[in-house]
């Protein structure tokens, strides 16, 4: 008799499978990985006016083209952090710091 637990032991979670399917160059470079996923998470309009500056000690530094975008992005920070961490399969980003 096969137990349910035995059936699941060889399965990976979806985020790890997706991460492993990325080209090696993206897997090895955290900033490139973050930039790639930033564009997917925030969408075209926000991606066009923002870019990843750097990642340091759990803080994602994001450069924005104009101060008018700061209030809109402030309200989305929590959702963006959750989505990026979900895609990474771990707590990669603790906070986002926006700058012009």
**CATH code at position 37:** 3.30.70.2210
Q: Is residue 73 part of a domain?
A: yes
pTM over 0.75: no
87 vs 14: CA distance, rounded Å? 9
> Which pLDDT score is estimated for 26?
47
Higher confidence at residue 5 or residue 52?
52
Structural domains in the chain (count): 1
Q: Whole-angstrom Cα distance, residue 70 to residue 15?
A: 30
pLDDT digits (tens, 9 = 90+) for 6-32: 555 556 566 556 655 655 554 458 889
């Amino acid at each position: 008799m096969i137990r349910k637990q035995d059936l699941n032991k060889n399965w990976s979670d979806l985020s790890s499978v997706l991460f492993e399917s990325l080209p090696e160059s993206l897997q090895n470079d955290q900033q490139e990985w973050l930039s790639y996923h930033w564009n997917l998470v925030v969408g075209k309009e926000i991606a066009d006016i923002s870019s990843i500056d750097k990642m340091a000690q759990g803080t994602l530094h994001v450069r924005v083209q104009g101060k008018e975008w700061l209030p809109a992005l402030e309200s989305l920070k929590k959702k963006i952090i959750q989505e990026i961490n979900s895609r990474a399969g771990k707590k990669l980003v603790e906070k986002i710091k926006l700058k012009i």
